[in-house]
Structure 1
Amino acid sequence: MKSIKTILLTISLSWSVCANVLAQESTSSELFITLKQKDSLLFNVGFNTCAIKQFEILIAEDFEFYHDQSGIIPSKEIFINGTKKGLCSSMNSSKSRRELVSGSLSVYPLYNKGILYGAIQKGEHQFFETQEGQSEQKRSLAKFMHLWLKTDNNWQIKRVLSYDHRMPVD
């Protein structure tokens, strides 16, 4: 009886691992490319250049952000206002830049009765900082997970998990 339970557990775990690998979108799929473009708009344009309009477009009204170093940001409004007053403030003497770690991005579609309604996007990103009059420095390497939801033909980010921040190793 014990060996049957062991066999069933092994089969179950194997199926789970296989299903996870098969569920990941190909890097050439339309969904992967779309969400990689949204990631670029969010960070390469929004974050790196302080184009607040990108955040207003891409972030859902009921947005939540969970960060392992700075806690919870419970709304779109608080996130955008904090970005304006902090990272993107004219009084800020440093500039931050985010770079996606090449090859780290993966996308997992979410379906409801066969209809695509969202996706989970995860990966790693590197952050850099430039203090006024100094050269750019590596600041941290972290993992992220984004929940994107599709409404009509529009994608918006609803939840963000940013975790495992650590100093980069050269």
Structure 2
Amino acid sequence: MKTIILFLLLLAPAAGLFAQDDATVTALILHKDSLFWQDYNTCNVTDIRQFFSDDIEFYHDKGGVTIGLDTFMTAIRHGLCRDPAHYLLRREAVKGTVQVYPLHKDGVVYGAVISGQHVFYVNESGKSEYLDGLARFTHLWLLKNGEWKMARVLSYDHGPAPYVNNRHEISLPADVLQTYKGHYAGPQNTVDISVENGQLLLVIHDSRMVLWAESKDHFFSKERDLTFTFLPDGKLVVREHGAVTEELGRQ
């Protein structure tokens, strides 16, 4: 039986064996990538270091260039992970975007590129976790002395992540909506609340925002993570990502 298997392997086309090697490398890089992001998401600075080569080059479209492992780790300690008890970023890959491309020389794998898109969630004291940004990444992994290390990291195309509303609106009687009409003023802003097409409408400067009812006195925006709570004493409490940003009084 072993002889037959060996004979079949010898007959297999080189491309087939190459593909088999690529599949192994791809699985390995995806595994190492997942381990790295686990440490990133928890700010495990000690273990993060092991994933990078000494000559790491990090390119960021907002933060510039960082070269060398010691400099790179110092930037992480003093930046991203300076206060993990009160602020953490959680990275999550965008499903279906991550690809691995093995690199060969003379038929031998020497490295791999992994690229894709990912989003970032902020965990901040006093606030619920919220979606903060979207970016692309490209990482070059090199195999040296039997070890896989990230040698080049590119982080680019940073921008806002599209907001996904998970709240559900309900219908309120017109007489209930009418009770919230009026002019509200706070330390930072003044707003006008009116009723239009069976919904509350908030006007601030030249901007208009529909407020959707989640309960009798609690409303939300479908465009941003903003909520608006009307209190019995006439106050309007505005929250973003679950944290109070302003309290306005009815005039």
TM-score range, shorter chain: 0.7 to 0.9
Matching residue within 31, 34, 39 for 1:37: 31
Structure-2 residue corresponding to 1:162? 155
Contact 1:86 1:92 in 2 (8 A): no
C-alpha distance in 2 between matches for 1:143 and 1:51: 23
User: Relative to total residues, which structure has the larger helix share, 1 or 2?
Assistant: 1
Q: Does 1:143 align with 2:136?
A: yes
Go from structure 1 to structure 2 and tell me whether the alpha carbon gap of 1:125 and 1:30 turns closer, same or farther (over 3 Å shift): same
Query: Which residue type is aligned with residue 127 of structure 1?
Result: F
C-alpha distance in 2 between matches for 1:166 and 1:155: 30
C-alpha distance in 1 between matches for 2:38 and 2:92: 8
TM-score under structure 2 length normalisation: 0.54
Q: 1:69 Cα shift?
A: 1.0
> RCO greater where, 1 or 2, for CA within 8 Å and sep 6 or more?
1
TM-score under structure 1 length normalisation: 0.78
Aligned-residue CA RMSD (Å): 1.9
Query: Which residue type is aligned with residue 123 of structure 2?
Result: T
Q: Does 1:54 align with 2:43?
A: no
Matching residue within 89, 95, 100 for 1:102: 95
Give the secondary structure class of the aligned counterpart of 1:29. Answer: helix
Give the secondary structure class of the aligned counterpart of 1:160. Answer: strand
Q: 1:65 Cα shift?
A: 0.5
Structure-1 residue corresponding to 2:104? 111
Contact 1:63 1:76 in 2 (8 A): yes
Query: Which residue type is aligned with residue 133 of structure 2?
Result: S
Matches within 5 A, 1:69-80: 69-80=62-73
Give 1 or 2 for the bigger CA radius of gyration. 2
User: Relative to total residues, which structure has the larger strand share, 1 or 2?
Assistant: 2
C-alpha distance in 2 between matches for 1:127 and 1:78: 23
Contact 2:26 2:102 in 1 (8 A): no
The percent identity for this pair of structures is: 36
Contact 1:41 1:54 in 2 (8 A): no
Give the secondary structure class of the aligned counterpart of 1:162. Answer: strand
C-alpha distance in 1 between matches for 2:38 and 2:49: 15
